[in-house]
Structure 1
C-alpha cells in the first residue's frame, strides 16, 4: 500500500537515525518514532512538536479564566495542563528519565486538581480540606511507588482510574443538579430565584437548562470521542510499530509524519482534555446559578469552545423581565 502511494507523491527521504544531543536514552519508554533522524536536538521530533498544541490551548484557557472570572481551581488546572504539555515536550525531545517523570506525574497531579474541583463543590470547609490533604497524600504515594516500580503500566492504570472516577462523578453532578426532571427539592430551594418566578418564567428556565444539558452532552461526546480516538491511534502505533516504520520510510517526509500514532495521541488527548476543563467551568457556573451571566461559545466543532461572560445588559435584562412578569402573575 505505502509503496504504491509513494511512487507518485513528492517526498523527502528519511535520514538515518543518529546519536543526539541528549544521548543515551535513559527513559523506561521509547516510542515508535525513530530517534534523532531529523535533528540531534530532538529525539522524537513529531512527538515533541505535537505538544505545542497543549501549550497553545493552555494559554488560551488561562487567559479565558483570568478575563472572565472563572474559579481559581480551573486556572490552576490549565497551569497543570501547560505543565503536562511542557513536560511531554521535554520528555520526547530528550528521552531522559527525569523528563519522563515530569511528563507522566504532571498528568496525575492535574487530574487530582479536577478530582478536587469535582468532589469538593458544595461541601463544608472541613470536608474540602480533608479531601485536599487526602489527594496530596495519594499523589505523593503514586509518585513514590511509581519511581520505585518504574512500570509505565502502573502510571497509565492510575491515570485511567482517576480520570474515569472524575468523569462519571461530574456527569452525575451535572444531571442531578441541572436537569429539571432530576433536581431535588433542596436544589430547588437553594435557587436564589426560588419563589420569585411565575410558572411561565420557571418553564423558560427549565427549557434553558435542558438546552444547556444538550450542549454539555455534545461537548462531552466530542471531547471523549477525540480523547479515545487518540488512545486508539497510540495503541495502533504500539501494535504495528515495525510495519508503520517501514511505511513511513517508503512514503518519505512529510507524509510519513501522518503515521506517527503517538503524535496523534498528543493532538487528540490535548483537545479532549481541553474540552473537559471547559465543560467543568461551564458546569460550575451552572451549579452556581449563573447560567444567565455566562454562556458557552462554540460556533462550530472546528473551533475550540470557551465559556465567557454575557453582556451585562443581556444578562440583567433577562432577569429584570422575568421579575416583572413574575410580579404581574402574583
Structure 2
C-alpha cells in the first residue's frame, strides 16, 4: 500500500504489506490499525498468565501465555515498522509457539520426558537460524500450516473425551474465532485491490488479529481444563465479569 505521511523507519523492507495505507496516522506506525489491533492479544495473554500463576498450574502454561505475549509484541513491531528484521521477529515466534502447543498436546502420552522438549527446543533453534539466513517466504507458510495441522487431531481427541459442556464450549469458541479470523485474513489478502477502492476499509487483517487473540485465549483455557482433568484437580469453567472464561481448580491437599 502506498505511503501516507513520512516514514520514521525508512523504506519498507518486509516481504509482505497488508491492505492498509502506510503512515497515515503517524510517522512512527506504518500500519496503524494492524498495530493497535494486537493489544487485546497481550491483555488476554496476561489474564491467562495471572490465572495460571495464581492457581499454580504447571510451568508449561505460564510459558505458553508468555509466548503469546512475545508473539504479539513481535507482531506489533512488524506492523509498526514493516522492516524485514521485525518481520522475522513476528514469524519465528509463531513457529516457537506452535512447537509449544505440540508439546502441551502430546507430552502427556510421551513416556520419555526429556526427549520431546529437547527435540522441540533444538528444532526451534535450528529454524530460527535457518529463517534468519534463508528468509523463507512460501516455505514458511507451508511449514507453519503443517505444524498447525499436527495439533488438530489431538485437539479433537481432547474435545471428544471431555464431557463438561462448558469446556466443550471453549473448544467451539476456538473453532469459531479461528474460522472467522481466517476468513477476514483471506478476504483482506485476496481482495485488497477492490477493498482499496471502497470508501470504508473493513481492516480485515486487524480483525484477524483480534480474532486470533481470543482464539489463543480460548485454546489455552481449554488446554488448561484438559490438563487439570488429567491431573484430577477438579476443574470448573468460571466466568470473570460474566464473560471471560477461566479455569478454576481444586488441588488435593497433598499437592
TM-score by length of 2: 0.90
- Aligned residue among 291, 305, 328 for 2:245: 305
Query: For residues 170 and 266 of structure 1, what CA distance do their matches in structure 2 show?
Result: 22
Structure 1 residue 267: Cα displacement: 0.4
Matching of residue 237 in structure 1 with residue 188 in structure 2: yes
1:131-210 paired onto structure 2 within 5 Å = 131-173=116-158, 175=160, 178=161, 210=163
Which region of structure 1 is more displaced relative to structure 2, 281-290 or 113-122? 113-122
Structure 1 residue 263: Cα displacement: 0.3
Count of residues paired in the alignment:
252
Question: Is this contact kept in 2: 1:233–1:262, CA < 8 A?
Answer: yes
- After superposition, the C-alpha distances for 1:163-182 in whole angstroms (9 at most, x for unaligned) are 2212321332554xx46xxx
Residue in structure 2 matched with residue 277 of structure 1 by the alignment:
220
- After superposition, the C-alpha distances for 1:215-268 in whole angstroms (9 at most, x for unaligned) are 333211211111121111111111111121121xx24xxxx4xx1111011000
Question: Is this contact kept in 1: 2:159–2:171, CA < 8 A?
Answer: no
Matching of residue 72 in structure 1 with residue 13 in structure 2: no
Q: If you compute each CA radius of gyration, which structure gives the higher value, 1 or 2?
A: 1
TM-score by length of 1: 0.71
- Aligned residue among 61, 70, 83 for 2:70: 83
Residues 281 and 129 of structure 1: CA distance in aligned 2, closer, same or farther (over 3 Å)? same
- Aligned residue among 92, 95, 111 for 1:105: 92
Query: For residues 238 and 122 of structure 1, what CA distance do their matches in structure 2 show?
Result: 39
Residue in structure 2 matched with residue 267 of structure 1 by the alignment:
210
Unaligned runs of 5+ in 1: 1-15, 180-209, 317-330
Residue in structure 1 matched with residue 237 of structure 2 by the alignment:
296
Query: For residues 123 and 173 of structure 1, what CA distance do their matches in structure 2 show?
Result: 16
Structure 1 residue 145: Cα displacement: 3.5
- Aligned residue among 222, 226, 242 for 2:173: 222
1:14-25 paired onto structure 2 within 5 Å = 17-25=4-12
Residues 121 and 96 of structure 1: CA distance in aligned 2, closer, same or farther (over 3 Å)? same
Unaligned runs of 5+ in 2: none
- Which structure 1 residue ranges, 4+ long, deviate > 6 Å from structure 2? none
Question: Is this contact kept in 2: 1:227–1:273, CA < 8 A?
Answer: no
Query: For residues 143 and 96 of structure 1, what CA distance do their matches in structure 2 show?
Result: 17
Query: For residues 304 and 111 of structure 1, what CA distance do their matches in structure 2 show?
Result: 24
3-state secondary structure, aligned to 1:112? helix
Query: For residues 117 and 144 of structure 1, what CA distance do their matches in structure 2 show?
Result: 24
Question: Is this contact kept in 2: 1:28–1:150, CA < 8 A?
Answer: no
Query: For residues 116 and 249 of structure 2, what CA distance do their matches in structure 1 show?
Result: 30
Residue in structure 2 matched with residue 194 of structure 1 by the alignment:
none
